[in-house]
Amino acid sequence: MTPPVIEIAHATVGYDGRPVLRDVSLTVTAGEVVAVLGANGSGKSTLVRAALGLVPLGAGSVALFGTPQRRFRQWHRIGYVPQRLGAGGGVPATVGEVVASGRLARRGVLRPAGRADREAVA
């Protein structure tokens, strides 16, 4: 059996001592499509950032592809386009261009896109 792509168990996350997420659990298996919906300020971005280790958990655990998030090293398997206020306002871009820009850190700016990059964009 394949381990879940993302497994979050009883996660609590807060900023400046104020909890944003409390006791959140989520399991996403390979092939599933998941939408995280909610009002502004409800913790959607915080949930994603916690799953990627960009904000620390106050409690709970995160596993990526069956590996505890702290020990996970296969970051090339993860794609993340952060939300930035005002970044790119008025600059048209296709989905492929946005995904390709996220691959730059993996291959470097001056190296041409390889097969893995072209497959990720497709």
- Contact (CB, 8 A) for 53 and 70: yes
pLDDT tens for each residue of the chain, 122 residues long: 789 999 999 999 999 888 999 999 999 999 999 999 999 889 999 999 999 999 999 999 999 999 999 999 998 888 887 776 555 566 677 777 777 766 666 555 556 666 776 676 66
CATH number of the domain to which 63 belongs: 3.40.50.300
**Domain identity same for 60 and 104:** no
Total number of domains in the chain: 2
The whole domain housing 103 covers 86-122
Is 49 found in the same domain as 14?
yes
Q: Is position 34 within any domain?
A: yes
Q: Which amino acid is at 37?
A: L
Residues 27 and 63 in one domain: yes
Q: Is 66 a domain residue? A: yes
Residues 24 and 57 in one domain: yes
